[in-house]
Structure 1
Amino acid sequence: MKARALLAAHALAAHALAAITLAASPHALAGPALPLAGAPLYALPPEASVRRALEALPTLRQHGLQRELAGAEHARLDAGPHEWVARAGVLRREVRAAEPGRDRYREQEASLERGLRWFGKADQDRAIGRQGIAVAEARRADAWHEAGRALMQDWYAALRTEAGVRTLERQHALVGQLAAAAARRVQAGEAPALERMQADTELLRAATRLAEARREAEQALALLAATYRDLPAPQGAALPDPQPNLPPAGADPGARAALEAGLETDNHELALARSEAEWEGLRARRAASERMPDPTVGLHLVRERDGEERTVGLSLAIPLPGAARSAERDAAVLRARIADEQVALVAQRVRLASRRSLAEREHSYRIWTGLREVEAQSTRQADLMARAWEAGECTLAEALLGRRQALEASLAAQAAHIDALAAAARVALDAHALWARD
């Protein structure tokens, strides 16, 4: 009996190795570059539900308010920092040694002043305001993309637990059948009572594991329902097969390079970094233009000696630049240089992340195809050993061990199945073929 079980295990390992080797071949991944994604393709919820759930998130609502704030800031910069200043005063003049009755006079003065932006500062402020709006839009788009990633991660986590419950329910039913058969054989005197104890123990183990899986599934579904409003619960009964629709690493370098370039250039995080760098550059140029301070022009009206003398005049005031302006200019230049370095850092990170996501997509598909074959072989082996036990060709312990190994193979293949769907959906999301805001 042990020899047959050992030979069966070696045969199973050989089949698994062959399956993984076949899946790792370049021809196993041939296919078109990247299709337009859809929810059924990746076992995701309907897109309308996803968009409603994302739009209801406090983070995205906050970014919407920040966009409105950027619009208000643009209006402020367009209006400029200077305002009209009105001054008025009343004076009383006393003249000594004057004629009686002519020694006191009432006098009035009034002025109207305003600072003026010159040397193109007004246009620079408007450009900074417009770029501020662009930065707010880029932040909102990046927040939308990151929220989509988080939703996708939570969704597949709940889907894994729900699908695991279904697999464990099937396993519990199969072990229950073995336990019922063992009970009948023991009652008929065809098997020792030990087999009934073994079957009951295995059934209890399967029930306990099923209860733990149901608890984890309830927690995952509760998290999903609390975080995303109006999102349907995942159903792991019939999962779509992952599609080998990415160009493999060695099959078409041109298509793969084009896809990698698309993921790197059309990236919200990189677009945000570039937008912020441009914004800081505009602010640095605006700070440099403050080397020539803004003048203040005023119109003055004076009424002296009870109106006997009237004066109209113009004034021009220009601040003398000091160390504070130079320090502010230097700080703005440094902030612009930091933003430029951030663009290079983000570009490097995005490049590595894009290549890693493509590699994960390919490896996940290969692993799933291999483990799927392992699952099929393990299930057939468990069925054969169950029939062999009923025929008296092996012990119940060997049949239960085969059923347990089949369960582990099913759970591994199921996890690999969902991992492959998640990796493909992640690439589609990053390529803006799924849940794109713009």
Structure 2
Amino acid sequence: MMIRLLLTTLIMVAGSAYALQPPSVPGLLPTEIARPLLEQDPRVAAARAGLEVAKQESSILDKSPYEWTGKALGQRRSLDTGPRYREWNVGIERTIRLPGKGSADRNIGKATIEESEARYGEALHESARELVSLWVDWLAAERGRELAAANLVAVQENLKSVDKRLRAGDASKLDLNLASAELAEQKRMDNDAKTQAAAAWARLSVRFPGINRQSVLLPSPMLIAEDEARWRDRIIAESDELKVVQTQLRIAQAQADRAQADRVPDPTFGVYTASEVGGRERISGVTISIPLPGGLRDSRSSKALAAVEVARNAVDLKKRELETEIASALVTARGTYESLQIANEGALAMQENAKLVQRAYALGEGDLQTLLLARRQTTSAANSALLAQVGALKAYYGLLIDAHLIWGLDSE
């Protein structure tokens, strides 16, 4: 029984570990290239600077907000029937922060740092999603340019076939004009594809300067085969967006503790010495003053407690929103992957059909309209497959980024 239980535990642990392993995705930007691009992104740099601000804020909260205050008083005493005397009074005093308030302030500072760390991780996450999107768009545009160039060659071959049949007396001048018009349209589409590829690269290279232009094939996504619960648990555990609201809850709780402790005012202690009657009398002593608390302190404490409840509901809402997004993302990733397979099958079938029609037309066994229609259907099917691949790839990469499985995002 114990052996069976041990084996079951090992299998569960191995399965969980497998689900958390960063997958090997051919064509994905290497970490050594992507990570510097993310670190130098202004969004990430601003979050990193914000983290330094939070550390300074924590250091400030760790120290007492009160300082020593020096006092000096000079006066002259005049008697109606006697001489005049010079008198003075000097002292120092300081308000003392009670221990409970110091502990609450330190908790606020610690939670503030944790919030900034979460915001830094979220900035990396958002920049990574943007980098992936722009990078996939560029690769897709380059693939679209290649398809347009291949279609242009095919249409040029069609025109040669029409011209050959025209010289043989087996085609009309109208067929030649139609083939020429088709070639002109394909040239326009080829130029549009080149423009889109150049624009996609401009968006990528300007948004993330320093990226090198390399010839990379558009990768193919992988099937999401793991249990949805593993993806959900992983993404929720790694979600910096959720961590932000969770740390905000801890800050609100610490501020409520501070407001509760502040219902008891901080006392002020001091020491002084005085000289009176021209130095004939020397006085020294200590002072203590404590503000008399009123209803304002109770109101501030009640307000802080209400803010805790607001923050707690914000955490619950964010977690529910996150679970909704994860469920939708998993369904989308699987659905787009299946659509890609169907689109690829359709594109291959249309490509084979175009070859058969092209061969039949060259042998004089088909008409031009059928040939042009087959070519257009092939182009449309190829473009549809490309769009399906882009959608599936973005959905797949989006899950990898949300789960922090690539580019070292799990270390943040």
Q: TM-score, normalised by structure 2?
A: 0.91
Gap change, CA 1:158 and 1:239, over 3 Å in 2: closer
Question: CA RMSD of the aligned region, Å?
Answer: 1.7
1:192 aligned residue (172, 184, 191): 172
**Residue number among 326, 347, 352 corresponding to 1:380 in the alignment:** 352
**Which residue does 1:392 correspond to in 2?**
364
* CA 1:335–1:320: 2 relative to 1, 3 Å: same
Q: Distance in 1 between matches of 2:303 and 2:214?
A: 52
CA distance in 2, matches of 1:33, 1:362: 16
1:37 is aligned to 23
User: Please, which runs of 5 or more residues in structure 1 have no aligned partner?
Assistant: 1-31, 248-254
Q: Give yes or no for contact 2:223–2:337 (8 Å, CA) kept in 1.
A: yes
Residue identity opposite 1:129 in structure 2: G
Whether 2:230 is the aligned partner of 1:244: answer: no
Q: Deviations over 1:359-412 (max 9, x none)?
A: 111111111111111111100000000111111211011111101101111111
Work out the CA distance in 2 between the residues paired with 1:130 and 1:296.
27
- Find the residue that maps to 1:203 and give its secondary structure: helix
The answer as to 2:45 corresponding to 1:61 is yes
Tell me if structure 2 keeps the 8 A contact 1:43–1:421. no
Q: How many residues get paired?
A: 393
2:206 aligns with: 226
Residue deviations 1:118-146 (CA, integer Å, cap 9, x gap): 15211111111111111111111111111
**CA offset digits 1:254-284 (Å, max 9, x no partner):** x332232222232111111111111111111
Deviation for aligned residue 1:34 = 6.0
Specify the alignment match of 1:316 in structure 2: 288
Structure 2 equivalent of residue 28 of structure 1? none
Q: Does 1:288 align with 2:267?
A: no
User: Which aligned segments of 4 or more residues in structure 1 are displaced greater than 4 angstroms?
Assistant: 32-35
Alignment CA distance shift 1:326-1:42 (3 Å): farther
In structure 2, do the counterparts of structure 1 residues 363 and 280 end up closer, same or farther at CA, with 3 Å as the change threshold?
same
Does the alignment pair 1:274 with 2:246? yes
Contact 1:159 1:234 in 2 (8 A): no
- The 1-side partners of 2:163 and 2:183 are apart by 12
Structure 2 unmatched ranges of 5 or more:
1-17
Q: Deviations over 1:41-91 (max 9, x none)?
A: 163322222111111111111111111111111111111211100111221
Kept after mapping to 2: 8 A contact 1:45/1:232: no
Which residue of 1 is the match for residue 382 of structure 2? 410
Q: 169-178 vs 211-220, which deviates more? A: 211-220
Aligned-partner residue type, residue 165 of structure 1: R
| 2:135 is aligned with 1:155 | yes
Question: What are the equivalent positions in structure 2 for 1:72-91 lying under 5 Å apart?
Answer: 72-91=56-75
Deviation, structure 1 residue 211: 1.5
- Mark the CA change 1:386 to 1:34 in structure 2 (over 3 Å): closer, same or farther: farther
In the alignment, what sits opposite 1:301? 273
Q: Tell me, what secondary structure is at the counterpart of 1:120? A: helix
Contact preservation (8 Å) 1:429, 1:436: no
2:128 corresponds to which letter in structure 1?
Answer: G
8 Å Cα contact 2:76-2:84 kept in structure 1: yes
The 2-side partners of 1:171 and 1:419 are apart by: 23
What is the CA distance between 1:234 and its match in structure 2? 6.4
Partner of residue 333 from structure 1, selected from 285, 291, 305: 305
Q: What does 1:336-355 correspond to in 2, within 5 Å? A: 336-355=308-327
Contact 2:19 2:230 (C-alpha < 8 Å) held by counterparts? no
1:118 aligns with 2:85: no
Q: 1:393 to 1:354 in 2, by over 3 A?
A: same
Residues in 1 aligned to 2:241 and 2:364: alpha-carbon distance in whole angstroms: 64
CA contact (8 A) 2:136 2:218 kept: no
Is the 1:42–1:425 Cα contact (8 Å) retained in structure 2? no
Match of 2:87 in 1: 107
Partner Cα distance (1:377, 1:291) in 2? 78
Write the letter of the residue equivalent to 1:350.
L
SS at match of 2:262: helix
State the distance in 1 between where 2:213 and 2:377 align.
30
Is 1:213 the counterpart of 2:193? The answer is yes
Contact kept? 2:228, 2:330, Cα under 8 Å: no
Corresponding position of 1:181: 161
Partner deviation per Cα, 1:133-183 (whole Å, 9 max, x = no partner): 111111111111111112212222222222111111111111111112212
Greater shift, 188-197 or 363-372, is seen at 188-197
Q: Which has the higher contact order (CA 8 A, sep 6+)?
A: 1
Report the counterpart of residue 402 of structure 2 in structure 1: 430
Aligned-residue offset at 1:190: 3.0
Residue type matched to 2:163 in 1? A
2:80 aligned with 1:96, yes or no?
yes
Q: CA deviation at 1:308?
A: 1.1
| Identity within the alignment, % | 29
Distance, in Å, in 1 between the alignment partners of 2:215 and 2:390 is 12
Distance between the aligned counterparts of 2:401 and 2:140, measured in 1? 20
C-alpha contact 1:163 1:235 (8 A) present in aligned 2: no
CA distance in 2, matches of 1:116, 1:182: 98
* TM-score normalised by structure 1 residue count: 0.86
